[in-house]
Amino acid sequence: MNKLLLVGAFLVFQLSNAQTVLQPEHVFDGSELHTNWVVLVEHNSITYAGPLSGLKVPKNTKTLRLDGTTLMPGIIEGHSHLLLHPYNETSWNDQVLKESPVERAIRGTVHAQKSLQAGITTMRDLGAEGAGYTDVYLKKTIDNGIIPGPRLLVAGPAIVATGAYGPKGFHDAVTVPLGAEPASGEAPLIETVRRQMGNGVDLIKVYADYRWTPGADSQPTFLQQELDAMVATASSAGKYVVAHASTPEGMKRAIAAGVETIEHGDGGTLEIFKLMKEKGIGYCPTLAAGDAITRYGGWKKGIDSDPERIKNKKKSFQLALDSGVNVVFGGDVGVFPHGENYREMELMVAYGMQPLEVLKSATAGNAKTFHLNQLGKLEKGYLADIIAVKGNPLKDISAMKEVPFVMKDGVIYKRP
């Protein structure tokens, strides 16, 4: 029999027998789709993935049929904010200024649970947005089995140039909580990177450009030598830097510094994306965030014509596809509801990416980009982070909305 465990408020299934065969209609292994395949899980590892005819079923093996589904690696979300919730509920400013880190941590536990239930077994959380190192402790509670949630890679407070980030609009005698940690100059930035690493972050996030005043166009923030210093400091400790960058100059400086991924990239040109491809830098377009924010502003999608922001995003994303740059799946979830990560996949397809390439990006591709060597594939020796979706997402990417089965590290958190 299987054991029922209480993790947070969830009953989960721990496989007490040594082996379980998962038998769906299709298997996407992280590279291609197969029929008549099964996956054998022993404890928390995959020990076989292949044709049913090729498996010699061990004794005392349980078979779990998942009819009408596609089995695949757990989804790896590349850009999330577990400590934010949709801006049409509460503005970003008010979340930073009025919601305490305690309230935001409680919300974060709910967001983590919703994410896991939606098939997100790993998340890169790119900034606590004013909640300090709350994401570090959220990761700890998940790792310790206190609450259910995805595996987390966390960036802590993120780093901004002094004076660049918000909330803004207050007179100079008011001390305002900021959404990230400000610093400037090579020595202070080196110190900030080291302090953040010492406080438990997995990676460093920097803002290579931003709006110096509310409503203004984004401009580069850090000088080239400042970005270089932060990347060198993180790299020397075995960690890496990702950059929020949306302007051509901000992107160029981040590329020259050697960041591993660029987030947003709205102003990217074909030349810039080709340079990223040449240097092996990933591009996380966060299509769903722009789509959501535009709708919050009154755009009636499907009724109104596309506003300039959406037209420009479609254009830059197509340039990225034309360049062959590594596209990182990540929607900036938190701007829109946690658990609706599928929105990014739907938009990636709508904006010109093939469903197979989208699924590769969200599984094996992100695993490789994020240095997760035992995740992202259904293959012998990989960890048993496995989900099933109804139907065939290669024919209809909206199948990613329905996730009846979720396993993380060999433990079943959701089943039909």
Convert the pLDDT of each residue in 126-168 to its tens digit.
999 999 999 999 999 999 999 999 999 999 999 999 999 999 9
The two beta strands, 181-183 and 159-161, are parallel
Distances in Å between the Cα of 88 and the Cα atoms of 77, 160, 260, 308, 343 are 22, 25, 31, 21, 17
Classify residue 263: in a domain, yes or no.
yes
**Which conformational region is residue 286 in: left (phi greater than 0), alpha (psi within -120 to 50 degrees), or beta?**
left
Neighbours of 224 (CB within 10 A): 13
Classify residue 79: in a domain, yes or no.
no
20 and 132 within one domain: no
253 and 122 within one domain: yes
224 and 116 within one domain: yes
Of the residues 337, 353, 369, the one at which a domain ends: 369
Classify residue 81: in a domain, yes or no.
no
Contact 179, 131 (CB under 8 A): no
352 and 223 within one domain: yes
Convert the pLDDT of each residue in 235-245 to its tens digit.
999 999 999 99
Query: Chain-centre distance of CA 252, in angstroms?
Result: 23
Q: What is the pLDDT of residue 1?
A: 42
Using 50, 70 and 90 to split pLDDT, how confident is the model at 368?
A: very high
Classify residue 398: in a domain, yes or no.
yes
Q: What is the pLDDT of residue 2?
A: 53
Of the listed ranges 53-57, 222-226, 362-366, the one predicted with least confidence = 53-57
Classify residue 35: in a domain, yes or no.
yes
Domain that holds residue 385: 3-73+376-414
60 and 90 within one domain: no
Among the listed residues 80, 143, 128, 119, the one whose alpha carbon sits nearest the alpha carbon of residue 336: 80
261 and 142 within one domain: yes
271 and 179 within one domain: yes
Residue at 145: amino acid letter: G
Using 50, 70 and 90 to split pLDDT, how confident is the model at 14?
A: low
Classify residue 80: in a domain, yes or no.
no
d(CA 240, CA 364): 19
43 and 183 within one domain: no
49 and 163 within one domain: no
CATH of the domain at 383: 2.30.40.10
Distances in Å between the Cα of 27 and the Cα atoms of 30, 32, 201, 390 are 9, 8, 34, 12
291 and 384 within one domain: no
357 and 404 within one domain: no
Of the residues 338, 354, 369, the one at which a domain ends: 369
162 and 116 within one domain: yes
Classify residue 211: in a domain, yes or no.
yes
Q: What is the b/e burial string over 290-320, where b = at least 16 CB atoms within 10 angstroms of the residue's CB? A: bbbbbeeeebeeeeeeeeeebeebbebbebb
What total of structural domains would you count in the chain? 2
176 has pLDDT over 60:
yes
CATH of the domain at 305: 3.20.20.140
Q: What is the pLDDT of residue 214?
A: 86
Classify residue 78: in a domain, yes or no.
no
